[in-house]
A and B are shown apart, each in its own frame.
Chain A
Amino acid sequence: MTGSMADDVCRLTKTPAEEPLLSVENLRTQFFTPRGAVTAVDGVSFTLERGKTLGVVGESGSGKTVLSRSIMNLLPSRNVKRTGSVRFDDREILNLSDSEMRHVWGKEMAMVFQDPMTSLNPVMKVGKQIIESLRLHLDVSKKEARSTGVELLRSVNIPEPEKRFEEYPHQLSGGMRQRVMIAVALACGPRLLFADEPTTALDVTVQAQILNLLQDQQIERHMAMILVTHDLGVVAGRADEIAVMYGGRLVEKAPTATLFRDMKHPYTEALLQSIPRIENPSHTRLKVIGGRPPDLVNQPKGCAFAARCPRVQPRCLEERPELEPSLAAGHSFACHFPVESAGSLSESSN
């Protein structure tokens, strides 16, 4: 639904559709630790069109957060090495310095973090945190910034925005704080928004509100979004395309409908099956992925998922599968022995 609406907006604004907003090629991020080099992101490539949503799904430790931080250059400066290419709006941004990135952060791309309590400044009024970037990037007076800030709070559905503007983060509930985080991120009208597990710390009811809000704002502002989550349920109805990460690599990437109709990678299938479904009777045994995510210092020679895969064959331990396109348009996966069932959805709801 988002896709089609975003398409309409796309046509109206006559953006050159052939040139993607963000194109990441062979991005690799390594952290140098006493134990050795941790390859948290390993050769990730994807493109993102204007106004579209990419869902990045994976367990903790799969590198999904490091991926979004690598693109935004929000990693520590020491003992980190990034290689590859990140083109934003046809401009290489991987090698920009912090002072150059400052023109990109907030204005071109912004991020909504997972924990709204620790990512807002506890001793600064929320209003000030919102207008901080407005005053920095856009040449506006204090008064104008204030009225824009109040408008922003109103647009993220915060009741009594004038009153909330003068409050501190601890006076707000978790859902409200996350709304403020979104207002901060949206302040300068970024063209790309990273939402890094924006609802993991929240209740299901608030989660639905926040996800709807993000989607509304995205359509209104014709903004591209990268939605990072561990729950396939969160991205199912909201992302145009889904990329599944495991061990720092993309293991499957497809348009949302294709992925759910015809998932090929056993890991994607396992992620989907581990979600408890409300329509299943009580005490339905959940399917689990045994074992642990791979050690990113000593990556196995073969497929990273081989140790936990129910379909593992000798070849998987020897030869690492590459991300290769399948028959369906836009669908690619990295697996030697893909799941062949066409109805992975119906199977999982048994």
Chain B
Amino acid sequence: MAGSGSVHLRERDSVLRVEHLTVEFPVGTSGAKVHAVSDVSFDIMKGETLGVVGESGCGKSTTGKAIMRVPPPTKGSVLLEGQDLEGLSANELREVRGRLQMIFQDPISSLNPRRTIRDIVAEPLTVQWLEGFPRSPVSTAWRRLTSAMTAGARHPIAGRLARVGLLIFFIGFLLFVASTALADPDDFGRRDGGGGASLGEWIMTAGGVVLLPLIVVGAVGAVLWAVLVLLMPLASLPRTLKIRSQQKAFDAETETRVAAALEEVGIPADLSMPKMPHEFSGGQAQRISIARALILEPEVIICDEPVSALDVSVQAQVLNLLEDLKAKYGISLMFIAHDLAVVKNISDRVVVMYLGKTCEVAAPDALYAAPRHPYTQVLMSAIPVPDPLIDPRSARVISGELPSPITPPSGCRFRTRCPRATELCTRAEPVMTLAAGSPGESDAHYVACHHPLTEEDWS
């Protein structure tokens, strides 16, 4: 499954377009990496729901987070309505995140337990509103200085300089101490190291010279920082006063907008706004999360396993709610889940992922009727069927554990657990191609497999 390639990207204008996204995390200092997401591409049209399905560890959540740039991807580009998110400043990114919202898996722990529902849902509005008041030059300078100092301290050159300087200094110090200790004491019991000691002193001075730039920069930075911190309260006063004067109007407007958002997701606003998250059930908390994501009127909502922690009865409510909101506001959804039945119900297009790669991309009904990738079939047969006449033991249950993403298998990453794997799968990574017999255009069915399933496998 190694599926790389991007033939399945569509030509039309997409709201969100992800190209060759790669996310890697370093492991220790040995240079090994976790290949969480490797060369994944997909696009989402306006008002479309893209389902992303796969086991835990397949990189589906990491993909969602990399789109939000928490953390940013290692390689690849994310385009929101044609705008590349790479290289945006923190302020620009904050503006973009208003159009790109996220809902998380655990509804209770994604709400701050010590704040009221009103504050939680209003927070995105507050952040955006405060963004509208320019900061005082002092506080801007303080922010810049702090981030520059942190970046400087973490810079590899600074680290190397410090290491070399300290090493030289320490060698000199050792030389000085050693030659002093070895020298014979004079009449008063004092020792003079002679040439060795003075050489040691010279070396220590040299070490000091190497360290000097760091010490100077650090000291100047610290003084500047202290001055700015002292000036800050005074300099920020005009901004604070301005915010205070507009606070009332903003609060009133926020109140109505929060109430509207809560009513929209089926939470009685008057009763709920002063309450705390722990007073709500999982399903209600998930609705509140949805209200928080909706309040900035986003174009895309990334739903990271929003129903996995919920009961089936509540799951149905949340799925229906997401469908309604999508129809009403034309929002695009990226719906991440591990249950193909849930994904099929809500999606217009489904991406199947395995160990950081895409396996198959298709419309949900086509995927169910004619799965091409062996892994898709495994996912499909693992869904528990509420029918006692179907023996759950007859399902194709996948054996074994997910291989390590630090050293993924060569060729197709699914080959270690695939019943159809051959020598070719070890050697070559399959590339995303149009599946045999699939219509082109919007309903096209793509698969990345050397030995895709055929008609006889579906019966």
- Beta-carbon contact of A277 and B341 below 8 Å: yes
Say whether A322 faces chain B, with CB atoms less than 8 Å apart: no
Contacts of B249 in A (CB 8 A): none
Q: Which of A262-276 contact B (CB under 8 A)?
A: 270-272, 274-276
Q: Which of A60, A204, A283 contacts B382 (CB 8 A)?
A: A204
Cα-based distance from A281 to B348 in the complex (angstroms): 11
Contacts of B345 in A (CB 8 A): 276, 280, 282-284, 286
Say whether A102 faces chain B, with CB atoms less than 8 Å apart: no
Cα-based distance from A246 to B99 in the complex (angstroms): 41
- Beta-carbon contact of A205 and B368 below 8 Å: no
Say whether A143 faces chain B, with CB atoms less than 8 Å apart: no
- Beta-carbon contact of B385 and A233 below 8 Å: yes
Say whether B342 faces chain A, with CB atoms less than 8 Å apart: yes
Say whether B339 faces chain A, with CB atoms less than 8 Å apart: yes
Q: Which of A206, A238, A260, A288 contacts B317 (CB 8 A)?
A: A288
- Closest chain-A Cβ to B255's Cβ sits at a distance in Å of 26
Contacts of B320 in A (CB 8 A): 285-286, 288
Stretch at the interface among A10-18, A146-154, A168-176: A168-176
Contacts of A234 in B (CB 8 A): 384
Q: A203-B56, A234-B384 are in contact. Are A282 and B365 (CB under 8 A)?
A: yes
Q: Which of A1, A231, A345 contacts B387 (CB 8 A)?
A: A345
Say whether A237 faces chain B, with CB atoms less than 8 Å apart: yes
Contact with A along B312-348 (1 / 0, CB 8 A): 1111110110010000000000000011111011111
- Closest chain-A Cβ to B357's Cβ sits at a distance in Å of 17
Say whether B189 faces chain A, with CB atoms less than 8 Å apart: no
Q: A236-B387, A274-B316, A276-B316 are in contact. Are A206 and B340 (CB under 8 A)?
A: no
Contact with A along B393-414 (1 / 0, CB 8 A): 1010111111000000000000
- Beta-carbon contact of B316 and A286 below 8 Å: yes
Q: Which of B55, B388, B399 contacts A257 (CB 8 A)?
A: B388
Contacts of A207 in B (CB 8 A): 382, 384
Closest to B395 in A: A208
Chain A, interface size category, equals: 35 or more
Q: Which of A233, A256, A288, A345 contacts B316 (CB 8 A)?
A: A288
Say whether A211 faces chain B, with CB atoms less than 8 Å apart: yes
- Beta-carbon contact of A274 and B339 below 8 Å: no
- Beta-carbon contact of A282 and B312 below 8 Å: no
Say whether B383 faces chain A, with CB atoms less than 8 Å apart: yes
Say whether A325 faces chain B, with CB atoms less than 8 Å apart: no
Say whether B391 faces chain A, with CB atoms less than 8 Å apart: yes
Cα-based distance from A208 to B311 in the complex (angstroms): 18
Say whether A226 faces chain B, with CB atoms less than 8 Å apart: no
Say whether B57 faces chain A, with CB atoms less than 8 Å apart: yes
Contacts of A270 in B (CB 8 A): 313
Say whether B392 faces chain A, with CB atoms less than 8 Å apart: yes
- Beta-carbon contact of A289 and B313 below 8 Å: yes
Cα-based distance from A37 to B55 in the complex (angstroms): 42
Q: Which of A192-233 contact B (CB under 8 A)?
A: 203-209, 211-212, 215, 230-233
Say whether A279 faces chain B, with CB atoms less than 8 Å apart: yes
Cα-based distance from A204 to B56 in the complex (angstroms): 10
- Beta-carbon contact of A276 and B319 below 8 Å: yes
- Beta-carbon contact of A205 and B384 below 8 Å: no
Say whether B363 faces chain A, with CB atoms less than 8 Å apart: yes
- Closest chain-B Cβ to A30's Cβ sits at a distance in Å of 21
Interface residues of A (CB under 8 A from B): 1, 59-61, 159, 173-176, 203-209, 211-212, 215, 230-234, 236-238, 256-257, 259-260, 270-272, 274-289, 292, 345
**Would you list the 6 A-B pairs with minimal beta carbon distance, nearest first?**
A233-B384, A274-B316, A237-B392, A286-B316, A276-B345, A282-B364
Other A-B pairs beyond A208-B392, A234-B384, A236-B387, 9, CB < 8 Å: A205-B382, A207-B384, A212-B397, A275-B312, A276-B341, A280-B345, A282-B363, A283-B323, A289-B316
User: 10 interchain pairs (CB within 8 A)?
Assistant: A159-B400, A204-B384, A230-B312, A231-B384, A237-B387, A274-B315, A278-B380, A282-B346, A288-B316, A289-B313
